[in-house]
Chains A and B, each alone.
Chain A
Amino acid sequence: MFYREAGDFKTSYAADSQTFPIAFDRWRYYFVIAAGFGLLPFIINDYWSNAILLPFLIYAIAAIGLNILVGYCGQVSLGTGGFMAVGAYTSYKLMTAFPWLDMVSITILSGVMTAIVGVAFGLPSLRIKGFYLAVATLAAQFFLIWLFNRVPWFFNYSASGQISAPERSLFGQAVTGPAADPSAKYLFCLVFAFALAWLARNLTRGSVGRQWMAIRDMDIAAEIIGVNPLRAKLSAFAVSSFYVGIAGALFFTVYLGAAEPGTAFGIQKSFLVLFMVIIGGLGSIFGSFAGAAFMVLLPVLLTNVLTGAFGWDSALARHFEFVIVGGLIMFFLIVEPHGLARLWALAKEKLRLWPFPH
Chain B
Amino acid sequence: MLDQTVTADGRTIGGVVMEMRNITLRFGGVIAIKDISFDVREGEIRAIIGPNGAGKSSMLNVMSGFYHPQEGEVWFRGEKRRPMRPYQIARQGIARTFQNIALFDGMSVLDNIMTGRLNHMKSNFLEQAIWWGKAEREEVANRAKAEEVIDFLEIQSIRKTPVGRLPYGLKKRVELARALVAEPKILLLDEPMAGMNVEEKEDMCRFILDVNDEFGTTIVLIEHDMGVVMDLSDRVVVMDYGKKIGDGVPDEVRANQEVIDAYLGVSHD
User: Which chain A residues have a beta carbon within 8 Å of chain B's beta carbons?
Assistant: 12-14, 16-17, 199, 202-203, 205-208, 210-211, 213-214, 216-218, 220-229, 235, 283
Contacts and interface: CB of A to CB of B under 8 A. Distances in A.
B115 A225 contact: yes
Given A17-B143, A208-B125, A220 B102 contact: yes
Contacts of B128: 202-203, 206-208
Contacts of A227: 87, 115, 118
Given A208-B128, A225-B116, 4 more contacts: A202-B130, A206-B135, A224-B102, A226-B87
Considering residues A17, A220, A235, which has the most beta carbons from chain B within 10 angstroms of its beta carbon? A17
Interface in B47-73: 64-66
Given A199-B130, A224-B90, A210 B111 contact: yes
A217 B249 CA distance: 40
B107 interface: yes
A211 B119 CA distance: 11
A227 B64 CA distance: 14
**Interface secondary structure of A, over-half rule:** helix
B117 interface: yes
Contacts of B142: 207
Given A13-B143, A14-B136, A224 B87 contact: yes
Contacts of A228: 85, 87
A14 B140 contact: yes
Contacts of A226: 87, 90-91, 118-119, 182
Nearest to B138: A207
A217 B107 CA distance: 8
Contacts of B119: 226
B115 A210 contact: yes
Interface string B92-123: 00011010001111110001001111110101
Interface residues on B, range: 35 or more
Contacts of B143: 13, 16-17
Contacts of A208: 125, 128
The 9 closest A-B pairs by CB, nearest first: A226-B90, A221-B102, A217-B104, A13-B143, A202-B131, A226-B119, A207-B121, A206-B128, A199-B129
Interface of B: 64-66, 85-87, 90-91, 95-96, 98, 102-107, 111, 114-119, 121, 123, 125, 128-131, 135-136, 138-140, 142-144, 147, 178-179, 182
Nearest to B117: A207
Nearest to A282: B106
A221 B104 contact: yes
Given A17-B143, A202-B128, A208-B125, A225 B90 contact: yes
Contact of B114 (A12, A14, A210, A220): A210
Contacts of B182: 225-226
A223 B87 CA distance: 5
A202 B65 CA distance: 32
A217 B139 contact: no
Given A13-B143, A223-B86, A224-B66, A211 B118 contact: yes
Contacts of B105: 217-218
B106 A213 contact: yes
Contacts of B91: 226
A229 B128 CA distance: 19
Considering residues A205, A207, A213, which has the most beta carbons from chain B within 10 angstroms of its beta carbon? A207
A46 B91 CA distance: 56
Contacts of A207: 114-115, 117-118, 121, 123, 128, 138-139, 142
